[in-house]
Amino acid sequence: MEYKYNGIILGKRDLGETDRMYIIYTLEAGKIWAVGKGTRKPAARLAGSLESLTESEIFISKNRGRGNITGAIATNCFPSLKSNFSFLESAFRAIGILEKLITDQEKDERIYVLLSGYLKMMNKAAGEGDEEKKDILTAGLIFKLLDFSGYRMSFDACVGCRNKIIPGRNYFSAPLGGVVCPECFSGKGETRVSDGCVKMVRIILANKMENLGKLKVPSNDIKNAQLIISEQVKWIVN
Ligand SMILES: [Zn+2]
């Protein structure tokens, strides 16, 4: 049987002498693995449409086990993103987190739309050389991914007492998955969270990816958000 997928290539691993195993996030079946026969040969016809961070229509023939890729047509190549090293590095780091958070063959159309939107916006920002936007979009992707994978962090109410978080001296707790107020602060591993960071995450969680392109955030608040992401992801995957 041959199946058609809309997929985003997340990564690839060498397989034997001439083949590759591809990791693909698909609209139809979530994260899947499929073999590209002969894709490491110099004149491989399929290889271009199966480059990492390419959105393609992918045809896979499957009898049992992992399928073989029989055809691929690139629909979005994101050339500006791929030619900008710092954007590429951020995107691959984000994809690495996505791979850890998401289990195989669990379909979630929201994640596909999110990832596709992220790559489109990163491609545009890379063309403009907008590094600040790169960091906002990447943080946005991870906060939304965490939300969609069942790890929505609380940035409205304190995870200790459930009171509304008001501007001031607040903290972030990775084990509790959200912001703690000064009264609930225990001093055991919480991270200081700035008012600007709290505001940024609230906006990210309430808006679509496409709306985040206009967001302006001071760089120290972005750094604060990146620290929170790394603590939360570390806590979840370890
Ligand atoms: Zn509290």
Model confidence pLDDT, tens digit, residues 193-217? 999 999 999 999 999 999 998 999 9
Model confidence pLDDT, tens digit, residues 39-87? 998 888 888 899 999 999 999 998 777 899 999 999 999 999 999 999 9
Model confidence pLDDT, tens digit, residues 161-171? 999 999 999 99
Q: How far is the CA of 157 from the centre of ligand 1 (A)?
A: 8
Domains, the chain, with CATH or none:
2-76 (2.40.50.140), 80-237 (1.20.1440.120)
Q: How far is the CA of 89 from the centre of ligand 1 (A)?
A: 37
With a cut of 90, say whether residue 159 has pLDDT above it. yes
**Cβ proximity of 91 and 138 under 8 Å:** yes
DSSP 8-state assignment for residue 214:
G
Closest CA to 192 of 176, 179, 177: 179
Q: How far is the CA of 162 from the centre of ligand 1 (A)?
A: 6
Angle between helices 131-148 and 85-101 (to 10 degrees): 10
Q: How far is the CA of 203 from the centre of ligand 1 (A)?
A: 21
Model confidence pLDDT, tens digit, residues 108-148? 999 999 999 999 999 999 999 999 999 999 999 999 999 99
Q: How far is the CA of 125 from the centre of ligand 1 (A)?
A: 38
**pTM surpassing 0.85?**
yes
Q: How far is the CA of 13 from the centre of ligand 1 (A)?
A: 46
pLDDT of residue 43: 81
Q: Residue 91 — very low, low, confident or very high, per pLDDT cuts 50/70/90?
A: very high
**Cβ proximity of 58 and 5 under 8 Å:** yes
DSSP 8-state assignment for residue 10:
E
Count Cβ atoms within 10 A of the Cβ of residue 108 and give its class: 0-12 exposed, 13-18 middle, 19 or more buried: middle
22-46 core/surface letters (b: 16 or more CB in 10 A; e: else): bbbbbbebbbbbbbbbebbeeebeb
- Ranges 14-28, 63-77, 174-188: which has the least confidence: 63-77
Q: How far is the CA of 85 from the centre of ligand 1 (A)?
A: 42
**Cβ proximity of 4 and 27 under 8 Å:** no
Q: How far is the CA of 141 from the centre of ligand 1 (A)?
A: 27
pLDDT of residue 237: 87
Q: How far is the CA of 41 from the centre of ligand 1 (A)?
A: 59
pLDDT of residue 208: 93
* Cα 60 from Cα 12, distance rounded (Å): 16
**Residue 224, helix vs strand vs coil:** helix
Q: How far is the CA of 202 from the centre of ligand 1 (A)?
A: 18
DSSP 8-state assignment for residue 165:
P
pLDDT of residue 70: 95
Q: How far is the CA of 205 from the centre of ligand 1 (A)?
A: 21
